[in-house]
Structure 1
Amino acid sequence: MALTKLGYKRETYEEILARTESKAKELFGQDANTSSRSALGFILRIIAWSTSLVWQDNENVYYSAYRNTAEGKQLDNLLVYAGITRNPASSAYGDVTFTGEANTLIPFGTIVSKADDTLYYTAEEKRISSNGTITIEVVARELGSVGNADIGEINKLLNPLQGVESVTNPIAIANGRERETDAEARKRADEVVSGQGYGTVSSIRTELLKNQDIRAVYVDNNPEDTTNEYGTPTRAIQCFVLGGDDTDIAQAILNKKSAGVQAYGTTIVNIEDEAEYTQKIGFTRAETVQIYAKVTLKTNISFEADGHRQVRNAMVAYVGGLDEDDTVHSGLSMGEDVVLSKLIARVYAVTGIDDVTIELSADNAVFSAANVTMSRPQIAQLSANAIEVI
């Protein structure tokens, strides 16, 4: 039987072949030649192979009914039962600064690019100010992480503009994302389901994480009669949030918090409730702790030509941040320590490594082979350019 109390048990090609050979000998006699060189054996093997594919398809159908094992489109069909859909790829966006003659017009749709010809267009029309510069938001033409850029990478004008001398991005752009993977979608669905309801810490956290631009959340609940260690007043909550728009964050908190409970924070947003009364909703931006790493490798002949890149990307995927392929990884949760042994394990997963030593630092000055401890409002981030591999 395929279905047992332990689940679906697929019959393998070898098991199907043994069963068909046994049946053939039952029908044609025990001396029937069912070897791979006989005509009968050849036919039996064709039948066994074709039947094994049917068993495999049936197994895929069985597992496609469960969120933890479904993949691709089948997983998309199950996500709706958790109240979410898969996050699509999103374009990177950020500010660039044009330098040139005062009062020069930068038209809407002006195209700038990186050295690799990744294109961006200006999302607004502005004139260069009297100090010779103007900052304008640009949006990447292509979806996904290809639009992410380090400081100064966006430095080309596709078509020269009279009066414009140069363009650059003064801050890094790291909000372009690929389509949400199966693993990420499953994790988010689990969090949403566990946080259903209203007025609980998990429900507020879940509501915030439904926003694809929010990468991490910690909800501090203070039921005590004194202000706690995070500065949360008595009978209040304080949401520490990484990423996302201020208004979207405040609206999510208002949607789920209990009546009469103060939403405290260093950022205050005025939001209208269902009765059109203005509510002051507070939250606090998470403190990002930049991690630096020095990695010493002992490799063998199996170590690949791009092995150093693989090492950096594996480390970034664990901690969280921007890897060498300009992909943003969520990584560790807020307040979660950077555990050295787990980081070493990620590096060992790269082919061709015999030994590895990793030293970490939170200030790029003092490095040590030890864990980096985070407090609750802090979240560790590690970018590929902050990893030195020897």
Structure 2
Amino acid sequence: MTYFAPFIDSSGFHMPSYSNIRNQLIADAKAIFGQDIYLGVDSQDYQWISAVANIIYDSFLASQAVYNSRGPSTAIGSSLDIIVKLNGIKRLPAVYSTCYVTLAGTPGTTITNGIVGDLNSNNWTLTSPVTLDSSGQATALATCQTTGPIVANIADLNKIVTPTYGWTTVTNDAAALVGSSSETDSQLRSRQAISTAQPSRTVLEGVKGAISAVSGVMRFVVHENDTNAEDANGLPPHSITVVVEGGEDADVARAMFNKKGPGVYTNGTTSVSITDAYENAVTIRFYRPTYVDIDVVVNVKKLAGYTSQTTDAIKSALAAYADSLLIGDDLLISSLWGATLSANQVPTKPLFSITGLTVARHGQAQGTTDIITAFDEVTRGNVASITVNEI
């Protein structure tokens, strides 16, 4: 294809390729200096033309990016952030995992700027200062220093990183509230598409749109049972069942109340009392997701170039895949194979081959079958629960 000037028509933005630009510059040079000018790839003139063509092509790519930034389906990064503000939403920032821990030691000991560690070598910052009571104990909130879905199960936080005289032990009696990574472009586009349903003609879509706009909401699912009997999930008749991760209870309940249809029963184990415009109390119910921790065992044969970093990459890829599933999604073992292979950063020369892979809910027997989740469950990855056997 020959060179053409960039243009916009009914089908979008059109621009020439790098080779079109380069070939046009070569033709122009021959027209100016004569057809006998040598412009082989090893010539200085060709190298100059190639550099100029690359600069021009980069400029055209920037123009294309600007054109694509006009709509949410093609905008990226900060451009997408600007567009979704028109829908009253914004990109969810990265969230730190938090966990309440119990400190023990000599009564009256004051711990200032304390830091504790977990089994995966993540550091967690304590509220400061913390003073041990007369029994030598105190409860403090520990915030992970790394953003993202950092998991800490019961008793995982057991290391004192900043020793203090009189402080002897630390532990957590409950699992951490897991944080999240910054919302990706694709996730934000999906939420933007749902948010436009708020003024929709269907009430159910309006409920979904309202929940998606609640600050802090990360994942959610809405089930409707419009029959006269319980459905396959055991959900009551003539009801909506919302399972939502993140967001304040009161904000989620208010969003549901504002959009649900009259007479529709809201099903769930979390109950919030909402007062309507006439001072009547209405109970709104929904579920918080139950996290399913996943244990994975992968057997790999090391090939040339395999290092300990490859092992870490495999664990991270598997944990990230488990964290990426939506509420109620089953974890397919075939997808775990794909997640493992994604750690092969050199596709033409693999770093390893997989000889076996098994998976199970945390603490259960390993197997080769899919992990089936309930309507209110969501899988959760943890690199500490992933074993990579190298041969």
| TM-score computed with the length of structure 1 as normaliser | 0.81
Q: Equivalences for 1:140-179 in 2 at 5 Å?
A: 142=145, 144-145=147-148, 149=152, 151-153=155-157, 155-156=159-160, 158=162, 160=164, 165-179=168-182
Where do 5+ consecutive residues of structure 1 fail to align? 321-330
Distance 1:266 1:206 in 2: 22
2:347 is aligned to none
Distance 1:106 1:75 in 2: 47
1:293 is aligned to 296
The offset of 1:138, in angstroms, is 4.0
Contact 2:106 2:132 (C-alpha < 8 Å) held by counterparts: no
The offset of 1:97, in angstroms, is 1.0
Q: Among the aligned pairs, what percent are the same residue?
A: 23
Distance 2:218 2:29 in 1: 61
1:324 is aligned to none
| TM-score computed with the length of structure 2 as normaliser | 0.81
2:322 is aligned to 319
Which amino acid in 1 is paired with 2:114?
V
Which amino acid in 2 is paired with 1:53?
D
Q: Which residue of 230, 242, 247 maps to 1:239?
A: 242
1:83 is aligned to 88
Distance 1:55 1:257 in 2: 48
Distance 1:133 1:117 in 2: 23
Instruction: State whether structure 2 residue 132 is matched by structure 1 residue 133.
Output: no
2:325 is aligned to 332
Instruction: State whether structure 2 residue 309 is matched by structure 1 residue 306.
Output: yes
The offset of 1:285, in angstroms, is 2.9
Which amino acid in 2 is paired with 1:303?
Y
1:343 is aligned to 336
Distance 1:96 1:260 in 2: 43
1:378 is aligned to 377
Which amino acid in 1 is paired with 2:116?
K
Distance 1:37 1:360 in 2: 55
Distance 1:365 1:143 in 2: 29
Contact 2:158 2:171 (C-alpha < 8 Å) held by counterparts: yes
Instruction: State whether structure 2 residue 48 is matched by structure 1 residue 51.
Output: no
Contact 1:198 1:204 (C-alpha < 8 Å) held by counterparts: no
Q: Equivalences for 1:217-296 in 2 at 5 Å?
A: 217-296=220-299
Q: Which residue of 21, 24, 27 maps to 2:29?
A: 24
Which amino acid in 2 is paired with 1:219?
V
Distance 1:308 1:136 in 2: 34
Which amino acid in 1 is paired with 2:186?
A
Deviates further, 5-14 or 63-72: 5-14
Which amino acid in 2 is paired with 1:88?
P
**Alpha carbons of structure 1 residues 262 and 124: separation in structure 2 relative to 1, 3 Å:** farther
| Secondary structure in 1 matching 2:114 | strand
The offset of 1:35, in angstroms, is 4.7
The offset of 1:95, in angstroms, is 0.8
Deviations 1:232-266 (A, max 9, x none): 33322222234443323322222321232222222
**Alpha carbons of structure 1 residues 231 and 295: separation in structure 2 relative to 1, 3 Å:** same
Distance 2:388 2:312 in 1: 9
Distance 1:308 1:212 in 2: 37
1:388 is aligned to 387
Contact 1:34 1:40 (C-alpha < 8 Å) held by counterparts: yes
Deviates further, 308-317 or 43-52: 43-52
| Secondary structure in 1 matching 2:287 | strand
Contact 2:103 2:132 (C-alpha < 8 Å) held by counterparts: no
| Secondary structure in 2 matching 1:309 | helix
**Alpha carbons of structure 1 residues 13 and 123: separation in structure 2 relative to 1, 3 Å:** same
**Alpha carbons of structure 1 residues 266 and 209: separation in structure 2 relative to 1, 3 Å:** same
Instruction: State whether structure 2 residue 1 is matched by structure 1 residue 2.
Output: no
Contact 1:143 1:178 (C-alpha < 8 Å) held by counterparts: no
| Secondary structure in 2 matching 1:373 | coil
**Alpha carbons of structure 1 residues 228 and 355: separation in structure 2 relative to 1, 3 Å:** closer
Cα RMSD between the aligned structures? 3.4
**Alpha carbons of structure 1 residues 113 and 380: separation in structure 2 relative to 1, 3 Å:** same
**Alpha carbons of structure 1 residues 16 and 33: separation in structure 2 relative to 1, 3 Å:** same
Count residues with an aligned counterpart: 374
**Alpha carbons of structure 1 residues 29 and 105: separation in structure 2 relative to 1, 3 Å:** closer
Deviations 1:55-99 (A, max 9, x none): 232222222333233222222112213331112233433211122
Deviates further, 145-154 or 352-361: 145-154
| Secondary structure in 2 matching 1:197 | coil
Q: Which residue of 113, 116, 124 maps to 1:114?
A: 116
Deviates further, 176-185 or 310-319: 176-185
Which amino acid in 2 is paired with 1:75?
L
Distance 1:333 1:37 in 2: 54
